Chain A
Amino acid sequence: MNIDTTFWFFDRIKEDNLCLLYNGDFSDEITNKLIELSEYNITNNIETLSKMKKKASFLMAECFQNIVRHGESIDGKANASANEGFFLTKNWQDTYYITSGNLIENNKIEDLERQLKKVNSLDRDELKILYRKVLENDMISDKGGAGLGLIEMARKSGQKLEYVFNDYDDKFALFYNQIVLKSNFEEKSSKEDNLFEINEAINYHKEMIAKDILVIHKGDFSQDAIFPVLKIIEENLQKEKKDAVSKKKIFHILVELLQNISKHCHMEGNKKEGIFLIGRSDNYFTINTGNLIKNKDVKGLEKQLNYISNLNGKELKELYLSKLRERNIPNNEGAGIGLIDIARRLISPLNYSIQKLDDEKSFLSFNVIA
């Protein structure tokens, strides 16, 4: 991914209160953090949605279990990212979308599709009857039955399950399913309510695979929201078997960049909003961030960033040490010591761009490789 990737995604999801995309390994540690992160955003940002918190978490857990249970891992496949899972959670207005994707063997498609059709053909009462029947008879994957998970997803969401099977190769297909959750359970869904199509989610996944992106998060960047993100990345670094030195370095860069957004972003309402992406490139990690800034701040910031990005390692160290000795309050220093310290640890100069959006604000993005 390059610096323009940030705005490509931001522009598509900017109306969302939360959008979390994940394309990677699904361990318990990671799924727990993904749920924690979504829960945090539900509780704190959307009052009308907070009562859906339990339901949303339940459905997310159900999706993850599907990925873990049914996601196929193919030994020796070069393209590791497609062997893992895809997960999206998105809140737009009063609607929650949960999309997941995983590989499934081609010869299992027929049975799964039959189950999905069955579940989608039933109304609420019929689903309840089927649920009890499956529970009692323990016929989870029996012909004519349907998986408990699918039944539960349909029951809890009160909506039809959307799904797509995409070709992958001779042996496998990519199976996507999307659950739409509305804060008003009883409300009949009208067409315009359901603006986010499952195909759009699939496009995001394709883009993530093509650019080797692991996580994209658009939402709140206050401290409580940052921690689950850091944990998800730490777990992935663990899996990548990166050496301790790189792990710490990437962790440090992440903390500084995410806290930088939190400290300096232009607030819309009372939310500290931004977007953050992490991906792989060769043996390195690429981290992109983006957030809104006020146009009146652009000139000063540009000057500082331009200055920092033109310094060599030795000059950056000297600047860092002089900032360390300055007796001022750390939070009022603008693009300061944090960015300088990041710039020291990159394999190439600090890459940034500022793009004017309207008369009031601009979009600031960083692209760093470490």
Chain B
Amino acid sequence: MLATLEFIETRDTPEVLFDKKNNQFKIAGNSLPEDSTKFYYPILDWIQEYVKDPNKSTHLICNMEYFNSSSAKMIYQIFIELEKIKDTGKDIKISWYYESEDKLIEEKGLEYQSILDIPFEMIKTK
């Protein structure tokens, strides 16, 4: 079984949990590293392994507070990797949380929703 990938939130990187065993997938917090590839490549590697044999149903929770544009690209890479699950016949869904006051995060979510080809739900929190 693929080992769980877990990062604690730091000043400039988000909390990340990719846990195949317990079927939990989450990314949350701030993401503004200067070099976003260094942070996101291990996550992309993990997902590339995961999509070869995904769980019956995968649900990724995104609860971002802020992310910079280079993180925006890497987050998109995560989504299009996960999109491959669709071809295996299994379920993939993304939930994008945003606060009603937070137009930036809402807009970013809507943009992803518009260019992705998997269920992508927008969830207003408060």
Contacts and interface: CB of A to CB of B under 8 A. Distances in A.
B104 A330 contact: no
A338 B69 contact: yes
Contact of B66 (A223, A227, A248): A248
Given A222-B34, A256-B68, A330-B37, A337 B73 contact: yes
B76 A245 contact: no
B52 interface: no
A180 to B, nearest CB: 34
B35 interface: yes
Nearest to B76: A324
B69 A331 contact: no
A255 B68 CA distance: 7
Contacts of A249: 103-104
A249 B103 CA distance: 9
Given A248-B103, A329-B37, A255 B73 contact: no
A244 B102 contact: yes
Interface residues of A, number: 29
Interface string B23-62: 0000000001111110000000000000000000000000
Contacts, number: 71
A245 B66 contact: no
Scoring B34, B66, B76, B103 by chain A CB atoms within 10 A of each residue's CB, the highest score goes to B34
Contacts of B34: 222-223, 259, 262-263
- Range class of the B interface residue count: 20 to 34
Contact of B102 (A248, A256, A327): A248
A341 interface: yes
B12 A331 contact: no
B76 A330 contact: no
Contact of B69 (A244, A325, A337): A337
Contacts of A263: 34
Looking at chain B's contact residues, the main secondary structure is helix
A324 B70 contact: no
B111 A330 contact: no
Contact of A252 (B66, B76, B77, B99): B66
Given A223-B33, A227-B11, A338 B70 contact: yes
A244 B35 CA distance: 27
Contacts of A330: 36-37, 69-70, 73-74
The 7 closest A-B pairs by CB, nearest first: A330-B70, A244-B101, A338-B69, A337-B69, A248-B104, A330-B73, A245-B103
18 contacts: A223-B34, A227-B11, A243-B101, A244-B102, A245-B104, A248-B66, A249-B104, A252-B104, A255-B32, A262-B34, A324-B115, A325-B76, A327-B77, A329-B37, A330-B73, A336-B69, A337-B73, A338-B69
